[in-house]
Amino acid sequence: MGGNKAVAYKGPGVVEVIDIDYPTFELKDGPGVNPANVGRKVPHGAILKTVATNICGSDQHMVRGRTTAPSDLVLGHEITGEVVEVGPGVEFIAVGDLVSVPFNIACGRCRNCKERKTGICLNVNPDRPGSAYGYVDMGGWVGGQAEYVLVPYADWNLLKFPDKDQAMEKILDLAMLSDIFPTGFHGAVTAGVGVGSTVYVAGAGPVGLAAATSALLLGASAVIVADMNADRLAQAKSFGCETVDLTKGGPVEQIEQILGVPEVDCGIDAVGFEAKGHGEGASEAPATVLNDLMDLTAAGGALGIPGLYVTGDPGGIDDAAKKGALSLSLGTGWAKSLSFTTGQCPVMKYNRELMMAILHDRVHIASNVNATAITLADAPRGYAEFDKGAAQKYVLNPNGYLDAA
């Protein structure tokens, strides 16, 4: 086969498009690959020609130098593709299928996978439960911001779109199924959102907007989205959300102005460990969002926490933050009997149902997150603009499938 171009992390603030090997059905040594995974055979895998591959806020954490990611790590875990090769152990996925790839890599065989906990598969990452493409300390599976990518356990992991022509008509929406739509939906579900709920979403980036979209889909009566970025708040307003501008102070008083009471039924953290305090020019204060949510969520409520937290952050504001240890007001959460759900979203728990909602025009997630297609060569620009707060979800188009989208 021919070559393969991919987007790689080169160092803090720098990504480049590089040449890498075309995938094979064996995990080779390379940047970030766990030594125990080198030489791992993948007869159960499929090779995809990438249709769409998105830039994610989780990628941005690495690109900012806020993780221990090594140079030349190929990025990208939000993948949609067309199958071009299958391994000898693949039975049901076929060449030509158009598919969505959950960002979680899961074997389908372990105890956790059998319990639908695919975000913490026990067999794909030698260091810890859970894995993802192109991500630091996740086993070293090569990222999908590339022309071609290998997906292991293809029969289990791949969600096949039932009609290719219909799928291509909605491809920007369907491209959100690999991560941010299920992740936002998971945040809403675990926060207990239902018909008539009042919901606070911290963060108006793509995951926050996906969580807000999900809350509306689940029947929330009021969805309030908070951020410091005016363009992102305007994007939230564009599909019916109320907004809180955190440059003007904390959220509780602003929530009371909207709802008449200083609390909500359900809270969602779509920010994670790079959270800032309140007010114009606020500095980083990583526990702020979680403490806010405990303050403003009604007693007996729940917090969905899809925002990313890490155990190693070289850029943390102090020694504790560098280890992921935050100063949480856990007593507040205990006193109010609040429930917390953290960790990777188990994408396969939700992606088929969300696909059907998209295909039947029940939701338009691409417009809500302002999905914008760019070329693979434009990836460095996309990362730079996203880092500056662009109110867009950048979707890379390595092979021209999105030219008509």
- Residues 259-299 have pLDDT tens digits of 999 999 999 999 999 999 999 989 999 999 999 999 999 99
* 203 in Cβ contact with 226 (< 8 Å): yes
CA 62 to each of CA 47, 81, 364: distance values in angstroms, whole numbers, following the listed order: 25, 24, 29
- DSSP string across 112-172: HHHTT-GGG-SSS-SSSS--BTT-TTS--PPPSSBSEEEESSHHHH-EE-S-HHHHHHTHH
pLDDT of residue 1: 54
Domains 4-179+346-404 and 181-341 share a fold: no
Half-sphere exposure of 149 (CA within 13 A, CB side): 36
The overall average pLDDT reported for the chain is 96
Q: Is 255 exposed, middle or buried (0-12, 13-18, 19+ CB in 10 A)?
A: buried
CA nearest neighbour of 350 among 161, 213, 182:
182
Handedness of CA 85, 89, 90, 92 (dihedral sign): positive
Q: Can you tell me the distance from the alpha carbon of 114 to that of 63, in angstroms, rounded to the nearest whole number?
A: 34
Pairing of β 198-202 and β 339-341: unpaired
Backbone conformation region of residue 33, classed left if phi is above 0, alpha if psi is from -120 to 50, else beta: beta
- Residues 297-347 have pLDDT tens digits of 999 999 999 999 988 888 899 998 888 899 999 999 999 999 999 999 999
- Residues 337-388 have pLDDT tens digits of 999 999 999 999 999 999 999 999 999 999 999 999 999 999 999 999 999 9
Q: Can you tell me the distance from the alpha carbon of 97 to that of 91, in angstroms, rounded to the nearest whole number?
A: 13
Residue with tokens 């070329």: 375
pLDDT(168) > 80: yes
pLDDT of residue 404: 78
- Residues 84-127 have pLDDT tens digits of 999 999 999 999 999 999 999 999 999 999 999 999 999 999 99
**Superfamily of domain 4-179+346-404 in the CATH hierarchy:** Medium-chain alcohol dehydrogenases, catalytic domain (3.90.180.10)
- Residues 44-94 have pLDDT tens digits of 999 999 999 999 999 999 999 999 899 999 999 999 999 999 999 999 999
pLDDT(18) > 70: yes
**The one-letter amino acid at 347:** V
Domain ranges of the chain: 4-179+346-404, 181-341
SS3 state at 291: helix
In sequence order, what are the residues at sequence separation of 6 or more whose Cβ sits closer than 8 angstroms to the Cβ of residue 83?
Answer: 46, 47, 48, 93, 94, 95, 96, 97, 99, 154, 158
Find the range with the poorest average confidence among 49-53, 237-241, 400-404.
400-404
CATH code: domain 181-341 is 3.40.50.720
